[in-house]
Amino acid sequence: MIDKTIINKVEEMFQTIQIMNEEGQIVNQEAMPDLSDDQLKELMRRMVYTRVLDQRSISLNRQGRLGFYAPTAGQEASQLGSHFALEKEDWILPGYRDVPQLIWHGLPLDKAFLFSRGHFVGNQMPEGVNALPPQIIIAAQIIQTTGVALGLKKRGKKAVAITYTGDGGSSQGDFYEGLNFAGAYNAPAIFVVQNNQFAISTPVEKQTAAKTIAQKALAVGIPGIQVDGMDVLAVYAAVKEARERAINGEGPTLIETMTYRYGPHTMAGDDPTRYRTDELTNEWEKKDPIVRFRKFLETKGLWSKEEEEKVIEQAKEDIKAAIKKTDGTPKQKVTDLIDIMYENLPYNLKEQREEYVRKESK
């Protein structure tokens, strides 16, 4: 007979882990990560910088100077807290909203802007930046992450592959296939589901009957954890532990970060006011990751308004220089795309290339 109380007992196991509350107070001292004052300040600097980058990117998109763009405000703790727990040798397989992690992993700003414009150069990672371009196909990066992680394991690397998707991505077949394969072969992988409550306009309550996405880890035999995704310390601690488990041969981890995007799904015409209430957004804004971390640092005497203003001005200067460099990049041609498609072109593409060379020379 089916016993629904078993489901209830399982779901009770997945409580949201928090270290720092909305007022910036430490409520779970035992889980407090070992970060120096300089590291705490650097983490704050990255969050403030990324918030400015998001604001400027939205403006540039509206001016027609950027193409595809998925806003990130509200998700800084989830994105940057998780990245801060990584090492340079780790591999990132991002979704399309996860450009900030790539930037802090070494992707130049101008290349990030070129990615937004659909330029092939924006998808070329610089030497030493272990990352794949942002994945547009929902959850396709989950399976790819398992493959990269298995490659690292086979080569004996003390590194992990980490990937990100949203709550909507957890409904894709690729999600289950990737997690199951990673679990079966003990891959050093970290799967982060950034549950920002809506997959475009679909609320998470209609995405799954499960109370948490983290509990889906049980079905594939790997650990799952749900953390307060607006708490940068909790996110960092969760990913740090998952990374240590992975490089010690203990396999993959699924992490669900409970977060919220303030803006639209993307700048391509989405209107969040049609499916979200102001009350809901206001409630989440009270949990703002930058505000609460600022309160925490100020009580420790580690942050000031003057320091934050310096970061804001530096971000604006960097963005201005990067977009100028982006504007100076030669426009891509059809022949560029043909040339990078194959090592040895098939005859039909050779014919097409010759035709386009004639057109481009006119």
**Residue 33: its pLDDT value, please?**
97
Task: Summarize pLDDT for 279-303 with one digit per residue, the tens.
Answer: 999 999 999 999 999 999 999 999 9
Maximum Cα interatomic distance, the chain, rounded to a whole number of Å: 76
Average pLDDT, the chain: 96
Strands 161-166 and 202-203: unpaired
**Residue 208: its pLDDT value, please?**
95
**Residue 156: its pLDDT value, please?**
97
**Residue 100: its pLDDT value, please?**
98
**Residue 1: its pLDDT value, please?**
66
Active-site amino acid positions: 261, 265, 275
Residue 359: pLDDT band by 50, 70, 90 thresholds? confident
Give the pLDDT mean for 198-202. 95
Lowest-confidence range among 32-36, 44-48, 184-188, 268-272?
268-272
Task: Summarize pLDDT for 5-49 with one digit per residue, the tens.
Answer: 777 777 888 999 999 999 999 999 999 999 999 999 999 999 999
Q: Tokens at residue 216, please?
A: 């889906």
C-alpha dihedral over 310, 97, 42, 324, to 10 degrees?
Answer: -40
pLDDT above 90: residue 141 = yes
Give the pLDDT mean for 119-137. 96
Q: What predicted TM-score, i.e. pTM, was given to this entire model?
A: 0.95
Domains plus CATH for the chain? 4-330 (3.40.50.970), 332-362 (no CATH)
Residue 361: pLDDT band by 50, 70, 90 thresholds? confident
- Comparing 12 with 148, the larger pLDDT belongs to 148
pLDDT above 90: residue 192 = yes
pLDDT above 70: residue 195 = yes
Residue 223: pLDDT band by 50, 70, 90 thresholds? very high
**Residue 157: its pLDDT value, please?**
97
**Residue 278: its pLDDT value, please?**
95
Give the pLDDT mean for 199-225. 96
